């Protein structure tokens, strides 16, 4: 080992003389490896000791947590300190920790165990408020004892590493060095004999493998010598191949010269002005001469028969092949050849009619094999065919196919030309063609009719003299589109506002397309003009445009056209140079005419009113029907004072108007909202909303009057409030913010039977407060939202009933209120029927209520609806009876179940004898007609007793019972609510 470390000379040393000996690379690697292993050993021992210490600490912590759980019960039970100290001593004696300390409120301390200050306390939280547990870890000196063994482990490892190094040097390094020197001597040529190495079997095997490799190299040297001889032979064969290729090229040159001659003769044939069939015969003559054959045929098979298309020569009877032979030719992939007495190269040709020597190929026309070319000889032993002969025949085949295709194209073009001529004669468009100078050379009969000239008269005339085109709107002549097309060399389209004046002076509305005509080279050769007579279509479009912008009933501008003109006036007013005015008019009492005399009468009333209004409107102003019985007037360049005069004039005209229908005379009125249009006006929608608000204010003020819109007007403020309620109602419908209550209707004199409730509606605000219907129902009626509200109530009640036990469904009747708008809804009955089917509701448990005012305003429809609902099993009640001061006579035609006496009579019945008389009269009339009566607003026992004395059947009010809420169980998520509110503009 000392010799190795010092690098001394030995018989196996690689140190050359004169150089300082150095430690071999292998030994450097071994010492480095031993150092690394020593460090790894120390690291492993340190990690082991650290893991052991961590494990001890973790076990002590778990033990303290366990002790804390056991001490929680005694601490909660407030056991004496002595018992707690005894428990701590017992847990400390377990040996896991050295000492335990229990600290509590009021500086209470209980400590047991050793007092080694070198050890730290470990604190553990307690489950009892104010108490803490501490534990002192035991000394882990035994781990340090293990640490003292590290130098011993290291010395043992170094001794083992030294022994391994000596073994490696003795049995591996020395033989490897001997083998390396022997290989170097062989490489330098000093030695060529086999290698001999002392050492282990592996080194002797390596030396044997090197000896085999040297032997293989000797064999490769012999192989290369043999390959050199083979290369010399290949060069001789290559020279022979070059000679053969040269002869082949000379033969190819001769064939090319032959083909050149053939091409010259083909060019002479094609340059002659002869018909296509004559050209085919010339080609067949050339083929026969080039192949030294005697005749040629072109045949095809059609409908099971053989047809000869062409033959050469013409004056000779030629032998014909049979049909099977021709079919084989058409199916063959290449030429079919028979030379003299040789057998055919196509063994499927066995026809006795086939000639002794032939070459047959299929001809293609438009990509299809329709014909067969046969070049044949009737001599039994002609010269054999060469490849060049077959190649030339294939060239003839292509020429003949092209010629036949051209012939077929000419026939097709002729037929297409004839067909196009017939088409041009029969189409409904005018077609005119010119040359590149714009001179007419053709026109079809429709063009003759539109221009007023015959084709013979027009041919040779300039297109500008034939086509007199002008603008329909301005009556001005336009630039001749034919010359424009020739100049621009692209399509010119004139599709709108175009008239053609014929020579006879008649004018036609036309649409024209003028396109250039180009020859095969793409050069301009003329133009084609197509004119379409659109007189009827343009007239229809004019009528459609009129109907799109005018009301079909009155002939006035419709809302769309009115808003278009209003927007233009609004834009001009914003510039500050013009002031306009808008009148928004709504007829009063129109519904009475419509309901009592029918829609036909209503339509006639609207026509007559429109004519009456039109007589009082200037020509520059616009009168429009905006929808239903609403009209609008746009007064241009009109200040407020003049607009007020015009509005008053219109108001007086309508007031003086009398409508007569079937011997009945009606008076109608009109409410007008006036809005000035000036620089400060907002958008179109804001302007229309302001006009509608002003008109609504005029109605609220007593009708038959004009209301001038002002921003701070109280009526405007009220209307805006109603619009806000409309937004709230819409959100409530989508978010299920309506709340249903029910109030009992109790029998007074009749025996107690089924229970009866009236459904009441409330609206829940966003803050959760409930709103009485008197606050939001007017807005719902104003903005036609009551049908939607009524349908929500009907669906919600039916859904609630469907969720109730079956034994309760048929023992309770529910009254549901319907608005006047729902009475007029003709789809309501279908909706109610579908809801009953959907939730399996017994119609006999539902009673619908409408107010007397709603019934009177639409009496015929109300009677019809009552009869329809009663026909499916529902009951019906007339609410607030007596509030409208109407006659009892209409009750005779009203099939009712209940008559609800208006609460205004009930609340004062104790002190007012008139109210008593009214209630008694209503009750008597109802009983006489078989209708049960219900009294509302029963607030005291005295009222209840008096109603019982009068004979009223039922009572409803706070004295009977207050309304109770129905729990429907439907909620809308916060995300859905935010989305719906954002869409509603809130």
Confidence of residue 168 (pLDDT cuts 50, 70, 90): low
| Residue 335, preceding peptide bond in cis (omega within 30° of 0) | no
Q: How many distinct structural domains can be found in the chain?
A: 5
Residues 765 and 789 in one domain: yes
- The CATH number of the domain holding residue 738 is 3.20.20.450
- The CATH number of the domain holding residue 663 is 3.30.70.270
Residues 599 and 733 in one domain: no
Going from the C-alpha of 539 to that of each of 498, 508, 542, 552, the distances in angstroms are 13, 11, 5, 18
Residues 342 and 293 in one domain: yes
**What pLDDT, on a 0 to 100 scale, did the predictor assign at position 233?**
83
Extended beta strands in 745-888, E state: 746-747, 755-764, 770-771, 812-817, 846-851, 875-881
- Which of 136, 170, 199 terminates a domain? The answer is 199
* Of 319, 400, 386, nearest in space to 355 by CA: 319
Confidence of residue 197 (pLDDT cuts 50, 70, 90): low
**What pLDDT, on a 0 to 100 scale, did the predictor assign at position 113?**
75
Render pLDDT for 810-838 as a digit per residue (tens, 0 to 9).
888 999 999 988 998 889 999 999 999 99
In a domain, residue 902? The reply is yes
The residue range of the domain holding 130 is 1-199
Render pLDDT for 29-38 as a digit per residue (tens, 0 to 9).
565 566 567 5
Alpha-carbon distance of 976 to 986, in angstroms, equals 14
Residues 905 and 760 in one domain: yes
Q: Which residues pair with 338 in a beta bridge?
A: 358
Greatest CA separation found in the chain?
155
Average pLDDT over residues 907-936: 90
Classify 494 as helix, strand or coil: strand
Residues 287 and 328 in one domain: yes
- Which of 155, 174, 199 terminates a domain? The answer is 199
Residues 755 and 885 in one domain: yes
**What pLDDT, on a 0 to 100 scale, did the predictor assign at position 611?**
94
DSSP one-letter string for 309-364: EEEESTTS------HHHHHHHHH-SS-EEE-TTSPPSSTT---TTS-SEEEEEEEE
For residues 283 and 406, the answer to whether their CB atoms sit within 8 Å is no
**What pLDDT, on a 0 to 100 scale, did the predictor assign at position 984?**
45
* Of 684, 679, 712, 716, nearest in space to 700 by CA: 716
Q: Pick 320 or 523 by higher pLDDT.
A: 523
Confidence of residue 344 (pLDDT cuts 50, 70, 90): very low
Residue 315, CB-side half-sphere exposure with 13 Å CA sphere: 0
**What pLDDT, on a 0 to 100 scale, did the predictor assign at position 12?**
40
In a domain, residue 244? The reply is no
**What pLDDT, on a 0 to 100 scale, did the predictor assign at position 894?**
82
How much of the chain exceeds pLDDT 70, in percent?
A: 75
Average pLDDT over residues 54-73: 77
pLDDT surpasses 80 at 53: no
Q: Pick 964 or 43 by higher pLDDT.
A: 964
Most confident residue range from 307-316, 342-351, 668-677, 773-782: 668-677
- The CATH number of the domain holding residue 518 is 3.30.450.20
**pTM score > 0.75 for this model?**
no
pLDDT surpasses 80 at 693: yes
Residues 437 and 579 in one domain: no
Residues 506 and 655 in one domain: no
**What pLDDT, on a 0 to 100 scale, did the predictor assign at position 741?**
95
pLDDT surpasses 50 at 105: yes
In a domain, residue 210? The reply is no
pLDDT surpasses 70 at 384: no
Token couple for 87: 């428990």
Average pLDDT over residues 658-682: 89
pLDDT surpasses 90 at 591: no
How much of the chain exceeds pLDDT 90, in percent?
A: 25
**What pLDDT, on a 0 to 100 scale, did the predictor assign at position 938?**
93
For residues 404 and 280, the answer to whether their CB atoms sit within 8 Å is yes
Q: Pick 173 or 458 by higher pLDDT.
A: 458
- The CATH number of the domain holding residue 324 is 3.30.450.40
Alpha-carbon distance of 657 to 747, in angstroms, equals 53
Residues 13 and 144 in one domain: yes
Question: Across the chain, what does the average pLDDT equal?
Answer: 79
Alpha-carbon distance of 932 to 819, in angstroms, equals 22
- Which of 669, 686, 711 terminates a domain? The answer is 711
In a domain, residue 208? The reply is no
Alpha-carbon distance of 668 to 593, in angstroms, equals 9
Render pLDDT for 391-438 as a digit per residue (tens, 0 to 9).
777 777 777 777 777 777 777 777 777 776 666 666 778 899 999 999
In a domain, residue 392? The reply is yes
In a domain, residue 239? The reply is no
**What pLDDT, on a 0 to 100 scale, did the predictor assign at position 223?**
81
Alpha-carbon distance of 439 to 721, in angstroms, equals 76
pLDDT surpasses 60 at 48: yes
Residues 536 and 561 in one domain: no
Confidence of residue 320 (pLDDT cuts 50, 70, 90): low
Residues 584 and 524 in one domain: no
pLDDT surpasses 50 at 348: no
Average pLDDT over residues 461-482: 88
pLDDT surpasses 70 at 42: no
In a domain, residue 800? The reply is yes
In a domain, residue 259? The reply is no
Residues 166 and 85 in one domain: yes
DSSP one-letter string for 802-868: HTS-HHHHTTEEEEEE--HHHHT-TTHHHHHHHHHHHHT--GGGEEEEEEHHHHHHTHHHHHHHHHH
């Amino acid at each position: 080992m000392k010799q190795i470390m010092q690098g001394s000379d030995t018989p196996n040393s690689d140190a050359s003389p004169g150089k300082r000996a150095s430690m071999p690379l292998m030994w450097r690697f071994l010492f480095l490896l031993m150092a690394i292993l020593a460090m790894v050993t120390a690291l492993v021992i340190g990690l082991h000791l650290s893991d052991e210490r961590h494990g001890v600490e973790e076990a002590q912590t778990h033990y303290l947590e366990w002790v804390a759980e056991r001490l929680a019960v005694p601490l909660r039970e407030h056991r004496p300190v002595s018992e707690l100290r005894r428990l701590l001593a017992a847990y400390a004696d377990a040996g896991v920790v050295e000492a335990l300390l229990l600290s509590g409120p009021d500086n209470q301390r209980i400590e047991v165990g050793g007092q080694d200050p070198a050890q730290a306390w470990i604190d553990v939280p307690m489950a009892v408020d104010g108490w803490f547990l501490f534990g002192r870890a035991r000394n882990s000196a035994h781990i340090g004892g293990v640490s003292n063994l590290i130098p011993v482990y290291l010395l043992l490892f170094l001794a083992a590493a030294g022994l391994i190094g000596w073994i490696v040097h003795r049995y591996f390094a020395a033989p490897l060095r001997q083998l390396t020197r022997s290989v170097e001597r062989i490489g330098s040529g000093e030695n060529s004999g086999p290698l001999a190495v002392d050492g282990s079997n592996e080194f002797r095997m390596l030396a044997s493998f090197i000896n085999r490799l040297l032997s293989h190299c000797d064999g490769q040297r012999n192989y290369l010598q043999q390959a050199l001889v083979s290369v010399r032979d290949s060069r001789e064969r290559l020279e022979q191949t070059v000679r053969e290729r040269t002869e082949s090229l000379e033969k190819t040159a001769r064939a090319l010269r032959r083909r050149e001659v053939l091409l010259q003769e083909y060019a002479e044939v094609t340059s002659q002005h002869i018909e296509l069939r004559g050209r085919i015969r010339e080609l067949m003559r050339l083929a026969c001469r080039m192949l030294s054959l005697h005749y040629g045929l072109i045949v095809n098979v059609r409908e099971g028969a053989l047809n000869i298309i062409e033959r050469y020569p013409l004056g000779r009877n030629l032998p014909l092949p049979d049909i099977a032979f021709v079919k084989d030719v058409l199916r063959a992939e290449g030429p079919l050849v028979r030379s003299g007495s040789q057998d055919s190269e196509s063994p499927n040709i066995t026809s006795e009619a086939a000639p002794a020597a032939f070459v047959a190929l299929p001809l293609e026309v438009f990509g299809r094999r329709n014909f067969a070319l046969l070049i044949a000889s009737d001599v039994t032993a002609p010269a054999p065919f060469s490849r060049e002969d077959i190649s030339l025949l294939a060239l003839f085949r292509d020429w003949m196919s092209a010629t036949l295709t051209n012939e077929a194209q000419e026939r097709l073009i002729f037929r297409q030309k004839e067909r196009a001529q017939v088409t041009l004669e029969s189409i409904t468009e005018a077609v005119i063609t010119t040359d590149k100078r714009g001179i007419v050379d053709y026109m079809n009969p429709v063009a003759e009719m539109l221009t007023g000239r015959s084709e013979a008269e027009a041919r040779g005339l300039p297109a500008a003299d034939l086509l007199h085109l002008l603008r329909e709107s301005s009556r001005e002549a336009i630039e001749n589109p034919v010359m424009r097309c020739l100049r621009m060399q692209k399509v010119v389209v004139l599709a709108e506002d175009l008239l053609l004046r014929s020579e006879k002076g008649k004018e036609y509305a036309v649409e024209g397309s003028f396109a250039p005509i180009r020859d095969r080279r793409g050069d301009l050769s003329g133009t084609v003009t197509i004119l379409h007579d659109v007189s009827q279509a343009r007239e229809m479009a004019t009528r459609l445009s009129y109907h799109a912008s005018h009301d079909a009933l009155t002939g006035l501008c419709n809302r769309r056209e009115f808003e278009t003109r209003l927007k233009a006036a609004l834009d001009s007013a914003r510039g500050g140079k013009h002031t306009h005015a808008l009148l928004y008019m709504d007829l009063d009492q129109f519904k009475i005419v419509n309901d009592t005399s029918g829609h036909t009468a209503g339509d006639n009333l609207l026509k007559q009113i429109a004519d009456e209004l039109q007589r009082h409107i200037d020509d520059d102003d616009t009168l429009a029907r905006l929808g239903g019985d609403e009209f609008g007037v746009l007064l241009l360049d009109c200040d407020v004072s003049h607009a007020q005069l015009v509005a008053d004039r219109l108001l007086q005209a309508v007031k003086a108007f009398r409508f007569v229908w079937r011997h009945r005379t009606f008076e109608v009125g009109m409410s007008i909202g006036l809005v000035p249009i000036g620089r400060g006006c907002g958008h179109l929608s804001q302007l229309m909303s302001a006009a509608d608000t002003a008109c609504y204010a005029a109605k609220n003020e007593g009708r038959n009057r004009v209301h001038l819109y002002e921003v701070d007007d109280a009526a405007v403020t009220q209307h805006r409030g109603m619009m806000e309620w409309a937004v709230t109602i819409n959100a409530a419908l989508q978010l299920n913010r309506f709340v249903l209550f029910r109030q009992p209707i109790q029998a007074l004199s009749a025996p107690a039977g089924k229970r009866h409730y009236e459904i009441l509606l409330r609206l829940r605000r966003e803050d959760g407060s409930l709103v009485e219907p008197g606050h939001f129902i007017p807005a719902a009626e104003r903005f036609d939202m009551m049908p939607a509200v009524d349908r929500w109530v009907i669906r919600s009640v039916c859904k609630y009933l469907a969720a109730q036990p079956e034994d309760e469904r048929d023992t309770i009747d529910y009254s549901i209120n319907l608005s006047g708008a729902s009475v007029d809804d003709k789809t309501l009955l279908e909706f109610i029927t579908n809801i009953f089917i959907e939730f399996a509701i017994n119609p006999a448990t539902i009673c619908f209520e409408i107010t007397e005012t709603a019934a009177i305003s639409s009496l015929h429809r109300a009677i019809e609806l009552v009869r329809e609902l009663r026909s499916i099993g529902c009951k019906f009640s007339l609410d607030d009876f007596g509030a409208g001061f109407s006659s009892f006579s209409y009750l005779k035609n009203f099939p009712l179940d209940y008559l609800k006496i208006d609460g205004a009579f009930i609340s004062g019945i104790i002190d007012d004898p008139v109210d008593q008389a009214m209630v008694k009269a209503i009750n008597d009339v109802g009983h006489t007609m078989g209708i049960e009566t219900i009294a509302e607003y029963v607030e005291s026992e005295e009222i209840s007793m008096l109603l019982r004395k009068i004979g009223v059947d039922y009572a409803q009010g706070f004295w009977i019972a207050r309304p109770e809420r129905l729990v429907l169980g439907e909620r809308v998520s916060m995300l859905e609510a935010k989305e719906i509110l954002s869409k509603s503009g809130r």
